[in-house]
Amino acid sequence: MGLSLQKGQALSLTKTDGSALSRVRLGLGWDAVATKRGLFGGKKSADVDLDASAIFFGADGQPVDYVWFNQLRSKDGSAQHTGDNLTGDGDGDDEVIRIDLSAVHGAVQQIVFVISSYSRQTFDNVQNAFCRVVDDSTAGAPEVARYQLTDAGQHTAMVMAKVSRTGAGWTFTAIGERADGRTVQDLVGPAAAAL
């Protein structure tokens, strides 16, 4: 298990030998809150459809590219979204974005990861939300870092984390800021505020 980060903490994405990570997987997961239903008090969870997206920013703080459910691959080919999970059911990552950091276009300085509810379900309906970085360039794909979200509320989106270019490598930072929006375009402003 990787290092558990708190909101605002950062971690350099380097291997134990000091070399930079090249291929990473950003996994996002969540569960629906079980709600009480019926005369006999049985609990049932409604499906919660959250969407993971990545916004690529240049040095000027302007977006240069997006990866989301309507554009599964970045223009430079460095990032690939593995597809939309409509329920949040199951253990582990619900949505995954794979990134070859060595192939990210040189104009990109930061990549911000957001999750949003297209159906406008609020985070009062979500529990166990997390974001994690996995090293896909090492055998066994070890988890490098994890950020467990503990914030619930009436918001429909979260700015979860970012990776920032730092010289020859990258740094992962846990953000965890509330936002509202249905799609990646709605979250450009809140994501830019986290740069």
Host domain of residue 78: 3-193
How many domains in the chain?
1
Query: What pTM does this model have?
Result: 0.87
CATH number of 137's domain: 2.60.60.30
DSSP 8-state symbol, 105: -
Average pLDDT, the chain: 86
Return the top range by mean pLDDT from 3-12, 18-27, 68-77, 126-135: 68-77
Q: Residues 20-41: pLDDT tens digits?
A: 888 999 998 887 776 655 555 5
**What string of H, E and C letters represents the secondary structure of 27-80?**
EEEEEECEEECCCCCCEEECCCCEEEEEEEEECCCCEEEEEECCECECCCCCEE
Q: Which residue has the higher pLDDT, 116 or 47?
A: 116
Asked whether the predicted pLDDT for residue 90 surpasses 60, the reply is: no
Q: Is the pLDDT of residue 1 over 90?
A: no
Over residues 69-89, the pLDDT tens digits come to 999 999 999 999 987 654 445
